[in-house]
Amino acid sequence: MEFNLSGHTGLGLWKQTLTNIVLNKGPDLTTRQLSILLTVYLDTKQHTVRGLAGQIDVTKPVITRAIDCLSMLGLVKRVRDEKDKRSVLIQRTVKGAVFLTDFAELIEKSNEEANK
């Protein structure tokens, strides 16, 4: 599937995607939460709060609050690092994978709607 993102077309696609998310009544994630979720799922390395904070260039408390929300929704989980008991890893969940698969499908649907 091709995406035409020239000019304001990309903004229109993003608007339609966000509208479709609202219409589907799924979790209402902030941009920061979605960025963290995508980082955890698309970057296959192990993730920690410190590492995510560095990647997204925010403080650790900001990441912790976002992870709290994502955890309550079941989209990620915290797991104690077996190698370093002081460290906590942020891991994927099945529910999070399903959410992002649905999200990708919404982007495709929005693109089709925009190209009609």
In a domain, 35, yes or no: yes
Which of 52, 38, 42 shows the shortest CA–CA distance to 89? 52
- Flag whether 40 is in a domain: yes
Number of domains in the chain: 1
Alpha-carbon gap, residue 27 to 24, rounded angstroms? 9
Residue 99 maps to a domain: yes
CATH code at position 48: 1.10.10.10
Residue 72 lies in a domain: yes
In a domain, 42, yes or no: yes
Query: Taking 80 as the threshold, does the pLDDT of residue 106 lie above it?
Result: yes
Residues 44-89: tens digit of each pLDDT: 889 999 999 999 999 999 999 999 999 999 999 999 888 887 788 9
| Distance of alpha carbon 100 from alpha carbon 51, whole angstroms | 21
